Amino acid sequence: MQKRVSLKIYGRVQGVFFRQESRQKAQALGLSGYVKNEPDGTVLILAEGDKASLEEFANWCQKGPRLADVAKMETRWQKSTGELRDFTISH
């Protein structure tokens, strides 16, 4: 079953390769979507794929890459729209 998840990640998550490594992890799991830095210092991720892969991805995001320090993560599950094709870094 295809799902969509929106993740807003707080903490020291910008400038620590979070976007690059989350894209690599998402691509390895076969997910589509995007990751981007927000002006408030958070990282926003929108991802679509099968629920098990999205859950694995969300668990990875709670820790992030080695240099990250994730303080908290907001998770919103939604219906998949199928509009996302690749997993990209958005600016």
Residue 91 is predicted with a pLDDT of 83
- Containing 10, the helix (H) or strand (E) segment is strand 2-12
Of the candidates 4, 37, 59, 85, the residue annotated as catalytic is 37
Residues comprising the chain, all counted: 91
In-domain check, residue 90: no
Residue 69 is predicted with a pLDDT of 97
In-domain check, residue 67: yes
Tokens of 37: 């830095």
Q: Assess contact for 47 and 31: CB atoms under 8 A.
A: yes
Give the number of domains in the chain.
Answer: 1
Residue 37 annotated to the active site: yes
Q: Which of 15, 10, 5 lies closest to 56 in space, CA to CA?
A: 5
Of the candidates 19, 23, 66, 76, the residue annotated as catalytic is 19
Residue 2 is predicted with a pLDDT of 93
Rounded to two decimals, the pTM is 0.95
pLDDT tens digits for range 63-74: 999 999 999 999
pLDDT tens digits for range 6-63: 999 999 999 999 999 999 999 999 999 999 999 999 999 999 999 999 999 999 999 9
Q: Supply the range of the domain harboring residue 6.
A: 2-76
